[in-house]
Amino acid sequence: MTDIPRKILCIEDDHETAALIAEELVERGFEVSIAPNGQEGFAAILKLYPDLVLCDINMPVMSGFEVLERLSALSPHFESIPFVFLTALSDRNNELKGRKLGADDYVTKPIDFDLLNEIIAARLRRIARSEVWAQHANLNDREVETLTWSARGKTSNEIADILGLSKRTVDFHIESAVRKLGVATRIEAAVKAASGRLIKP
């Protein structure tokens, strides 16, 4: 863990459960924010950009599944944030649905806080490794610039117009960044560069 507390967003409609989760995690050194339903939770993710999200599934206004679906639609901007479902729905079909939507883990209630702490720590360690790997890529300024615009959804032609370059030059720099980051596509490169804080999508 770093000296700066990691930010965890807990999306949970049951007040007592949310308070208990927050109390436990604060005692373990995390900074915790709480959202009482999926809609407010989704807005909080966009505003706070937390290090990890804990989310209930059955909630009013917007379910946990809907939160993750909407978050996935914003890929790659929020793809590096670990998303963990906390739920009383222990049946296999719900777990499979959660994982198919892209959830990193699925923890059933009543919550084993020692287990939850290990899951959180493992997910954050993975982010830390990704940050280190990305920073070792040594992207040059033009690679960072073109990859940043790519992460914002711009095509090579649009980036070329923005930067006053040819499309071929833009493609060259993006492909170079892809190679240096050790991934297969520009989307994967953007995600890895963003998680390593090399770019700000």
The letter for the amino acid at 183 is: V
pLDDT tens for 17-42 read: 999 999 999 999 999 999 999 999 99
pTM of the model: 0.64
Residue type, 163: L
β-partners of residue 7 are 31
The residues, any chain, with a CB within 8 Å of residue 18's CB and separated by 6 or more, are 10, 12, 34, 36
Contact 199, 151 (CB under 8 A): yes
The residues near 173 (Cβ < 8 Å, ≥ 6 apart) are 142, 143, 145, 146, 147
DSSP string, 70-117: HHHTTTTTTTTS-EEEEES--SHHHHHHHHHTT-SEEEESSP-HHHHH
Q: Is 174 exposed, middle or buried (0-12, 13-18, 19+ CB in 10 A)?
A: buried
Q: Which of 66, 73, 85, 152 is nearest to 123 (CA)?
A: 85
8 Å CB contact between 156 and 186:
no
* One-letter amino acid of 9: L
Reduced to 3 states (helix: H, G, I; strand: E, B; else coil), residue 12 is: coil
pLDDT of residue 61: 87
pLDDT in tens, the chain (201 residues): 446 788 999 999 999 999 999 999 999 999 999 999 999 999 999 999 899 999 999 998 899 999 999 988 876 667 778 999 998 877 788 888 888 888 889 888 889 999 999 999 888 887 665 555 556 678 888 998 999 999 888 999 999 999 999 999 999 999 999 998 888 888 888 887 877 777 876
pLDDT of residue 135: 63
